[in-house]
Chains A and B, each alone.
Chain A
Amino acid sequence: MNTTNAAISLRGLRKTYAGTPAVDGVDLDIDHGEVFALLGPNGAGKTTTVEILEGFRRRDGGEVSVLGTDPATADRTWQARIGIVLQNTGGHDELTVDEVIRHFAGYYPAARDADEVIHAVGLEDKRSTRVRHLSGGQRRRLDVALGILGRPELLFLDEPTTGFDPEARREFWDLIASLADDGTTILLTTHYLDEAEHLADRVGVIAGGRIVAVDAPARLGGREQDTAVVGWVDRGSRQEMATAEPARFIAGLSARFGGEVPGLTVSRPSLEDTYLRLIGASTRHDGPTEHLEHA
């Protein structure tokens, strides 16, 4: 891999809190224009890794390059090339959406047009509303607006759609897809695996301070080679069969039923199944993955 062209390059990244390693030797390359999702349970080192990349935290060891610069020594010019959407940010309660966005635009050398950004995040109706009166989802859209305002080459999104209703999430996904189409590199952390699957070119799973798998969502952890589960209905009861050769098995079923197979389904492990298997070794059952509804 050509690391000089990578938007983000990590080699042996380490960070220790009070003697306990939070990030324990992470290697990672993210290309320009790539949408990369970093997945992992709370406490796995996800936030620490991302905040080192954003320049908020100092590392204890390893090499870090973000847009060709070490974030620990980065200046305003570098800062202007990245966009950051943090979790749980508040503030500016008494200012209107319009005022906040126009003010933040003044920090950047070549900011996007404020109206264009307000339109992109769907806050036209709320532009004269004070931030205090916005709903949780609307505040999150404002956070995203401030993150993309400076035309970032690299955008960090930390759990961007928490608190969104399904429609708002779809609209947000479209927005991210259009930013990616324009060539913006995006590093996303999320607890929603469907979000990672929908948006990301590649996903990385971090557990216990280490990257345990990196691949395209469809191939993560050898998913595409996993056994398929064929399901059908026989004399009113649901049947299932795990098989490495689903096509051959279905052909057999079809012959048996003389054509169509009632209630036929073929499924592979979901990204969620694969994810839970990958992090399984390093998490307890009552641990931070409980927010995931495992069917």
Chain B
Amino acid sequence: MNTTTRPRTATVPATPPLLRVAAARTTLELKGFFREKGAVVFSFLLPIGLLAVFAVAFADGEIFTEDSPGVDFVQYFTPGMAAAGIMMVSFQTLAIGIAAERDDRTLKRLRGTPMPPVAYFLGKIGMVLVTAAAQLALLLGVAVLAFGVELPSDATKWLTFAWVFVLGTAAGTTLGIAYSSVPKSAKSADSLVVGPLLVLLFVSGVFFVFNDLPEWLQTVASVFPVKWLAQGMRSALLSDEMEAMEVSGSWEHGATALILTAWIVLGLILAARTFRWMRRDDG
């Protein structure tokens, strides 16, 4: 019987460093994302399209006119669209994308390579950060150039914008990874992800004024992160005169930071406990 071993060099070559693999994963994810027309249209461009539809449908409209100061309709909904966009490119993209990768055994194949598992998640985070930043830049650019939306000029507003963006994106990311285990197949993923997210966006005051919702629905929505993300975005992109128009009469930055962070942690715990590299029927 053949018992010879292959000649081996004394030093085993080191596996490639984590950050290099993570960067390569990010590039790969971005290529895959932007080449898939469905994903680009329904998560990346949708909020911008919706803003345009709102702007055209409600041209010259103002809200809160009886309560003064009154605000331009498009101006008011721009932060809501920013919140919707963040949830779409983080939660929706990841939940659908990872469910599909689990279903077609991409995840299983990756697990069979020396790719560090962390690199996979870093690649997803990298993709979400780049697409979310690009989407917000495009959204705000279109809002300003095409619809005359005014952006804040003072730095504290942009600082608020930054931390709300980071917390909101992080919550959408961890929850998206966790939620990817809910659909049993790639086919059911679209409806199982988009349906609940749309409902959540509606009740969170993204598509209309939160104050107009019945009180019980406001209470329900306050449990979930989107309401706080949208409110945080309003606090960053609207003038402080609008603060009085919030249901509580305050931007509630403390509560926003706390609740978004709680969702990030919950998403992390759920993702860590439920994430699987293999399909359920794959043992």
B6 pairs with A153, CB closer than 8 A: yes
A241 adjacent to chain B (CB < 8 Å)? no
A103 pairs with B24, CB closer than 8 A: yes
A-B contact pairs, 8 of them (CB 8 A): A89-B106, A91-B109, A94-B35, A94-B36, A99-B31, A107-B16, A109-B16, A153-B6
Tell me the complex Cα distance, A82–B111, Å.
Answer: 12
A31 adjacent to chain B (CB < 8 Å)? yes
B273 adjacent to chain A (CB < 8 Å)? no
A77 pairs with B106, CB closer than 8 A: no
Among A83-105, those with CB < 8 Å from B are 84, 86, 88-95, 99, 103-104
A79 pairs with B28, CB closer than 8 A: no
- Give the contact-size bracket for chain B: 20 to 34
- Which residues in B have their C-beta under 8 angstroms from that of A153? 6
Tell me the complex Cα distance, A32–B1, Å.
Answer: 10
Contact residue among B1, B5, B16 (Cβ-Cβ distance under 8 Å from A108) = B16
- Which residues in A have their C-beta under 8 angstroms from that of B6? 32-33, 153, 183
Tell me the complex Cα distance, A220–B20, Å.
Answer: 49
User: Nearest 7 A-B pairs (CB), nearest first?
Assistant: A91-B106, A90-B104, A109-B13, A94-B35, A84-B112, A80-B114, A79-B114
- Which residues in B have their C-beta under 8 angstroms from that of A32? 2-6
B116 pairs with A31, CB closer than 8 A: no
A79 pairs with B113, CB closer than 8 A: yes
Residue on B with the closest CB to A32? B5
- Which residues in A have their C-beta under 8 angstroms from that of B106? 89-92
A233 adjacent to chain B (CB < 8 Å)? no
Among B83-132, those with CB < 8 Å from A are 101, 104-106, 108-109, 111-116
Among B256-283, those with CB < 8 Å from A are 278, 282-283
- Which residues in B have their C-beta under 8 angstroms from that of A146? 109, 113
B14 adjacent to chain A (CB < 8 Å)? yes
Residue on A with the closest CB to B28? A103
A86 pairs with B115, CB closer than 8 A: no
Residue on B with the closest CB to A58? B283
- Which residues in A have their C-beta under 8 angstroms from that of B15? 76-77, 80, 107-109
* A-to-B contact residues, CB < 8 Å: 1-2, 5, 17, 31-34, 48, 51, 54-57, 76-77, 79-80, 82, 84, 86, 88-95, 99, 103-104, 106-110, 130, 146, 150, 153, 183
Q: Given the known A-B contacts A89-B104, A109-B13, are A2 and B2 also in contact in the complex, defined by CB atoms under 8 Å?
A: no
Residue on B with the closest CB to A149? B113
Contact residue among A33, A54, A88, A91 (Cβ-Cβ distance under 8 Å from B2) = A33
B283 pairs with A51, CB closer than 8 A: yes
B12 adjacent to chain A (CB < 8 Å)? yes
Tell me the complex Cα distance, A57–B276, Å.
Answer: 12
Residue on A with the closest CB to B100? A91
Residue on A with the closest CB to B107? A91
- Which residues in B have their C-beta under 8 angstroms from that of A33? 2, 4, 6
Contact residue among A5, A86, A89, A99 (Cβ-Cβ distance under 8 Å from B3) = A5
A76 pairs with B114, CB closer than 8 A: yes
Tell me the complex Cα distance, A92–B24, Å.
Answer: 14
B21 adjacent to chain A (CB < 8 Å)? yes
B152 adjacent to chain A (CB < 8 Å)? no
B112 pairs with A2, CB closer than 8 A: no
- Which residues in A have their C-beta under 8 angstroms from that of B69? none
B32 adjacent to chain A (CB < 8 Å)? yes
A92 pairs with B32, CB closer than 8 A: yes
Q: How far is the CB of A209 from chain B (nearest CB, A)?
A: 14
Among B15-64, those with CB < 8 Å from A are 15-16, 20-21, 24, 28, 31-32, 35-36
Q: How far is the CB of B106 from chain A (nearest CB, A)?
A: 3
Tell me the complex Cα distance, A91–B24, Å.
Answer: 17
- Which residues in A have their C-beta under 8 angstroms from that of B32? 92-95
B109 pairs with A89, CB closer than 8 A: yes
Contact residue among B20, B104, B114 (Cβ-Cβ distance under 8 Å from A91) = B104
Q: Given the known A-B contacts A32-B6, A33-B2, A110-B13, are A91 and B283 also in contact in the complex, defined by CB atoms under 8 Å?
A: no
- Which residues in B have their C-beta under 8 angstroms from that of A82? 112
B105 pairs with A89, CB closer than 8 A: yes
Contact residue among A2, A34, A95 (Cβ-Cβ distance under 8 Å from B31) = A95
Residue on B with the closest CB to A17? B283
Q: How far is the CB of A35 from chain B (nearest CB, A)?
A: 11
Contact residue among A76, A84, A86, A89 (Cβ-Cβ distance under 8 Å from B116) = A76
A104 pairs with B113, CB closer than 8 A: yes
- Which residues in B have their C-beta under 8 angstroms from that of A99? 28, 31
Contact residue among A5, A56, A94 (Cβ-Cβ distance under 8 Å from B278) = A56
- Given contacts A77-B114, A89-B106, 17 further A-B pairs with CB under 8 A are A5-B3, A5-B5, A32-B4, A33-B2, A76-B15, A77-B15, A82-B112, A89-B109, A94-B31, A95-B31, A95-B32, A103-B24, A106-B16, A108-B114, A109-B12, A150-B113, A150-B114
